[in-house]
Amino acid sequence: MHVVTCIAPVNIAVIKYWGKRDEVLIVPTNDSLSGTLSMEQMHAKTTIMASPNFKKNCIWLNGKEESFDNERLLTCLREVQRRAERDGANKDLLKWHIHVCSENNFPTAAGLASSAAGYACFVYTLAQLYSVKGDVSQIARQGSGSACRSLAGGFVRWHMGSAPDGSDSIATQVVPETHWPEMRVIILVVNDKKKKVSSTSGMQRSVLTSELLKHRITYCVPQRVKDIEKAIISKDFNTFAEITMKDSNQFHAVALDTYPPAVYMNDVSHAIVDFIHCFNKAKKSTKVAYTFDAGPNACLYLLESAVAETIALVNHFFPGHNSKNIIQGLPVPPANVQETIAAIEKMGVVRHEEGLLKFVINTRVGEGPKQLTDSSQHLLSPSGVPKRLAE
Amino acid sequence: MHVVTCIAPVNIAVIKYWGKRDEVLIVPTNDSLSGTLSMEQMHAKTTIMASPNFKKNCIWLNGKEESFDNERLLTCLREVQRRAERDGANKDLLKWHIHVCSENNFPTAAGLASSAAGYACFVYTLAQLYSVKGDVSQIARQGSGSACRSLAGGFVRWHMGSAPDGSDSIATQVVPETHWPEMRVIILVVNDKKKKVSSTSGMQRSVLTSELLKHRITYCVPQRVKDIEKAIISKDFNTFAEITMKDSNQFHAVALDTYPPAVYMNDVSHAIVDFIHCFNKAKKSTKVAYTFDAGPNACLYLLESAVAETIALVNHFFPGHNSKNIIQGLPVPPANVQETIAAIEKMGVVRHEEGLLKFVINTRVGEGPKQLTDSSQHLLSPSGVPKRLAE
């Protein structure tokens, strides 16, 4: 019997992935680039156990058993095992069935890129189980495209590649988390009731129908990736922030240019955008950058020096329901923001009604996946059943 | 003493104008094309009086005196007078000061292209006053760009032109209103509290910052104008509708790609878009097209045969406050829509809360400006004072 438990992080793109040039291989129409979020606040955790006693492969996601008969899951398993064979792994181990148990320590439904963290964790854990060496990002990519960017810490670039088999469409680290330790991330989780367009079908439709997408991938993204990589390496926050905001806006523009349109931001999202622009204007300097994935939640990139003021302003302009504290994550020192509030209100930003935000996560850029060696961390009991079901 | 009263229509673009290549001349970065709305439901009305007794030029807009010291107003006056001189108008008449009184018979603040109708009416009325012959669209254009498209009925194309002085940036009629008499228009006026980005500053910012705008004006619009003109001439509603919706979405995409973004549609606008797509899908045919100007209101183009059902569905999915009737304009026969409602609800569209729409105007494509010869129609008393102030 063999068991391994690992955790893997969420990543939030600053240059967005939107469009596949091959649906099966999951190779994208453009490079993308993301920050990896600290696993202290948010992570996926996966235990994989292989045993000669298991009759079949089983998987439990967030406490619920799911079918293993899932194309993407099976692809990832097959590819890691093929690599293990090549690396000379134990032949018996490779024959045993596996039990997989995976959990996120944050709400899956909140639209916080949970599938990326989940597939990254699955592939990373499998790789440890079978002692696979080397980069497995091109395998994780075949589970969920952006999962490949969750396999390293700091800032990570997913190269679109050009090989027909997708072998050069891999993720590489631009800088580790230690390069720019002041980089912080605040996630504003928006209350939402809208009908959803899945990102898979939205991006399919964009590739088929958006004329603007072609321009974006051919002309805009290559320059932006180059520029933001340079900004990250030289720790130029202004440039980093401006490109991040522009690329988020352009991704949502392309989604809107899709037919029928794919709309992910809502009125609250746009109110956050307006608030951030007014905040930056009030401070006469770019303190905060927003970015939005395929959902209404805002992800703010900012330096440590701006966290206290930003959180205080978010609390003021987007108060929680019944004014309750909605800030989670890293501790935040208090800040006096009366003057900034006055300046922002002068620009026409109002204090919004309560409860527009569900909660706020204060976190930072962090490291890549890691194995947990303490056996108490396993999510599966020695017999291969999820501990929380066995209790 | 000389007095003339005219009315001019609102126009709603199906290929959008967004971007000036010269801010003073108001020459656009692309051709645009619009339908002229019937003046029975909506129009601007302007009376202009010239008299040797007037001490200065005066203007009243919707009952309120405004300053005549307005660059665009003065440009239009100067240009019409220059044309009148060339045409050999009475020299005395041209020396007299004028009083201008203008009113819209629809709420100015509702974001219904009131400045276009207003400037079209001002220039058209001036032209009648001074007996100017020929096309004055290039003059109206210098008041408010899209005003030039309100100088003819039916469908009208504003040519971007290429002359440095803007002389070939004129509006021409594609077809008169009699060509496609079944064409109807329904305007959904959305309740809105959002901060506004003026279209003048929004489009300036788009020209300066949106990379996608360049692609739109160079590649997308020329093809679309050609295709929609053909669809209008051959009365191909499907093609007309699809291009109309795509171009509205692309214009808002470009506005979103602007930095900082210019956002005009809100959650209610997007709910209308989703409703229309589901309606068309339920009917297995494109019954209705939406288009949105620089604001949240929807303008629906449809054929007469679809009006009753569309209005009934709007009433169901977007009920008025306290279920009161919010439909204005042309009379609407009742329609049985139970089956269609069920089909649309199956696609996840819900009956929205009451009061999201302020009102709905049921109208049609109509004719161009005209002079009212009945003197009771004048908005100015014989002494040159607005009648409604004199009462």
Q: Which residues of chain A make contact with B212, given a CB cutoff of 8 A?
A: 212, 215-216, 220, 250, 253-254, 257
Quote the tokens at residue A165: 């088999």
Identical topology for domains A2-176+373-377 and A183-364: no
Residue of A nearest to B211 (CA): A220
| Domain ranges (residues) in chain A | 2-176+373-377, 183-364
Render pLDDT for B189-213 as a digit per residue (tens, 0 to 9): 998 877 678 889 999 999 999 999 9
User: CA of A251, closest CA in chain B: separation in Å?
Assistant: 8
User: CA of A301, closest CA in chain B: separation in Å?
Assistant: 17
pLDDT of residue A391: 64
ipTM of predicted assembly, 2 dp: 0.94
> Is the domain A183-364 a CATH 3.40.50.2300 member?
no
Q: Is A125 helix (H, G, I), strand (E, B) or coil?
A: helix
User: CA of A127, closest CA in chain B: separation in Å?
Assistant: 41
Render pLDDT for B4-47 as a digit per residue (tens, 0 to 9): 999 999 999 999 999 999 999 999 999 999 999 999 999 999 99
A261 inside 8 A of chain B by CB? yes
Q: What is the arithmetic mean of pLDDT over B353-358?
A: 94
Report how many helices (DSSP H) and strands (DSSP E) chain B contains, helices first.
12, 17
Helix ranges (DSSP H) in chain A? 71-86, 91-95, 114-129, 137-140, 199-209, 211-215, 221-233, 237-256, 267-282, 307-317, 338-346, 387-390
Residue of B nearest to A253 (CA): B253
Gap between the Cα atoms of A252 and B187, Å rounded: 26
Count other Cβ atoms within 10 Å, centred on residue A164: 9
pLDDT at B276 over 70: yes
A349 inside 8 A of chain B by CB? yes
User: CA of B256, closest CA in chain A: separation in Å?
Assistant: 6
Cβ–Cβ under 8 Å, residues B184 and B364: yes
**Choices 3.40.50.300, 3.30.230.10, 3.20.20.70, 3.30.200.20: CATH for A2-176+373-377:** 3.30.230.10
pLDDT of residue A195: 65
Cβ–Cβ under 8 Å, residues A337 and A315: no
Q: CA dihedral defined by A140, A143, A146, A151, rounded to 10 degrees?
A: -20
Which CA distances in Å does A256 have to A197, B37, B253, B358? 12, 27, 6, 25
Peptide bond into A260 cis (omega under 30): yes
B312 inside 8 A of chain A by CB? no
Q: Look at B259 and A242 and tell me if their CB atoms are within 8 Å.
A: yes
Render pLDDT for B77-102 as a digit per residue (tens, 0 to 9): 999 999 999 998 899 999 999 999 99
Render pLDDT for A351-385 as a digit per residue (tens, 0 to 9): 999 999 999 999 999 999 999 999 999 999 999 99
Percentage of chain B with pLDDT > 70?
Answer: 98
Q: Look at B256 and A260 and tell me if their CB atoms are within 8 Å.
A: no
Q: What is the arithmetic mean of pLDDT over B224-247?
A: 98
Closest CA to B267 of A257, A290, A268: A268
Cα B36 to chain centroid, rounded: 7
Q: What does the longest C-alpha to C-alpha distance in chain B come to?
A: 70
Of B242, B253, B348, the CB nearest to A256: B253
Q: Mean pLDDT in chain B?
A: 95
Q: Is B387 helix (H, G, I), strand (E, B) or coil?
A: helix
pTM over 0.90: yes
User: CA of A129, closest CA in chain B: separation in Å?
Assistant: 43
Q: Look at A267 and B194 and tell me if their CB atoms are within 8 Å.
A: yes
B345 inside 8 A of chain A by CB? no
Q: Which residues of chain A make contact with B254, given a CB cutoff of 8 A?
A: 212, 253
Test the B interface: residue of A190, A248, A256, A277 with most B CBs within 10 Å: A256
Q: Which residues of chain A make contact with B267, given a CB cutoff of 8 A?
A: 194, 266-267
DSSP string, B208-243: HH-HHHHHIIIIIHHHHHHHHHHHHHTT-HHHHHHH
pLDDT of residue A197: 82
Test the B interface: residue of A192, A208, A249 with most B CBs within 10 Å: A249
pLDDT of residue A324: 86
Gap between the Cα atoms of A291 and A187, Å rounded: 10
Q: Is the torsion defined by CA of A17, A19, A22, A25 positive or negative?
A: positive
- Give me the tens of pLDDT residue by residue for chain A, a chain 391 residues long: 899 999 999 999 999 999 999 999 999 999 999 999 999 999 999 999 999 999 999 999 998 999 999 999 999 999 999 999 999 889 999 999 999 999 998 876 556 767 899 999 999 999 999 999 899 999 999 999 999 999 999 999 999 999 999 999 999 999 999 999 999 999 999 988 776 788 899 999 999 999 999 999 999 999 999 999 999 999 999 999 999 999 999 999 999 999 999 999 999 999 999 999 999 999 999 999 999 999 999 999 999 999 999 999 999 999 998 888 899 999 999 999 999 999 999 999 999 999 999 999 999 999 999 999 999 999 999 999 999 887 6
Residue B114 confidence class, pLDDT cut points 50, 70, 90: confident
pLDDT of residue B111: 65
